[in-house]
Amino acid sequence: MPVNILIPYNFTTNDDIAVDFVGQRYAKRKEVDITLFHVFTPVPEIDPRNNPIMGKVIQNTSYLRVQQEGEKQAMEAAKLALVKYGFDGHHIHCLYRPVRQDIADDIIQLWKRGKFDVVVLNRNPGNILNYFSRSISKRVTRQVEGGVGVHIVN
């Protein structure tokens, strides 16, 4: 029976732990599809029109574009880590796309459309943002239901 696994990925040590968890838990199973998923804030297009201040802003956006290219390479490295566990490379997908609503809602929408059987989340216990808002893992866990396995690792 095929298993579809979704791993939201944000380039942290905990995300690498989630990848290792999937590798250790599911590597011996046949027909496993894995999707590594990251949403990012898009870099705005800026028209400088001979304005020196806008030229400086463009330099900063160039830095952000380089950073995003590094993130794409990091996702490919996570894919290679899964291949080392024995998964077939064409069964591992990297989704790197602009945020549509917010991270939790984008994960929930992807889960609903993608027919995932397993969602592997991690949490950042020391994250101050979670003090002020509900954590992503809690929001996703409340929405993901109906026979879907949710693993929260840290």
pLDDT tens-place string over residues 24-69: 999 988 899 999 999 888 876 766 666 666 666 666 777 778 888 9
Whole-model pTM: value is 0.78
Give the pairing type, strands 118-122 and 92-98: unpaired
Q: Does domain 3-153 have CATH number 1.10.3720.10?
A: no
Highest mean pLDDT among 39-43, 67-71, 115-119, 141-145: 67-71
